[in-house]
Amino acid sequence: MMPKLFDTISVQPTTPHLGAEISGVDLGDLDDRQFNEIRQAFVDHGVIFFHGQELTPDQHIEFAKRWGQINVNRFFHPVDGYPQIAEVRKEPHQKASIGSSWHTDHSYDQIPAMGSILYAREVPTHGGDTMFASMYAAYEGLAEDMKTTLSTMNARHTNRIAFGRLDQLDQQAKDDLGNRLNNPHLAVQDAVHPVVIRHPLSGRPALFVNKGFTVSFDGLADDESAALLDQLEDHCHQEQYTYRFSWKVGSIAIWDNRATHHMAINDYDGQRRLMHRITIEGDPLTRA
What is the model's pLDDT at position 6?
61
Catalytic site residues?
103, 105, 262, 277
Q: Cα dist. 267→43, 89, 237, 241, 279 in Å?
A: 31, 14, 19, 22, 25
For residue 191, give its domain range: 4-91+99-287
For β-strands 273-280 and 82-90, DSSP reports them as antiparallel
Number of structural domains the chain divides into:
1
pLDDT band at 2 (very low <50, low <70, confident <90, very high): low
Mean pLDDT, the chain, rounded, equals 95
Backbone torsions φ then ψ of 232, nearest 5 degrees: -70, -35
Contacts of 231 (CB under 8 A, 6+ apart): none
What is the model's pLDDT at position 224?
98
Query: Is the pLDDT at 109 greater than 70, yes or no?
Result: yes
pLDDT over 70, % of the chain: 98
Q: In this structure, are residues 24 and 9 in contact, taking their beta carbons and an 8 Å threshold?
A: yes
What is the model's pLDDT at position 113?
97
CA distance 62 to 27: 10
Which CATH number does the domain housing residue 53 bear?
A: 3.60.130.10
Tens digit of pLDDT for each residue in 186-239?
A: 999 999 999 999 999 999 999 999 999 999 999 999 999 999 999 999 999 999
Query: Is the pLDDT at 5 greater than 60, yes or no?
Result: no
From 22, 37, 27, 31, select the one nearest 59 (Cα to Cα): 27
What is the model's pLDDT at position 4?
60
* Mean pLDDT across 87-109: 96
Tens digit of pLDDT for each residue in 157-185?
A: 999 999 999 888 899 988 898 889 999 99
pTM: 0.95
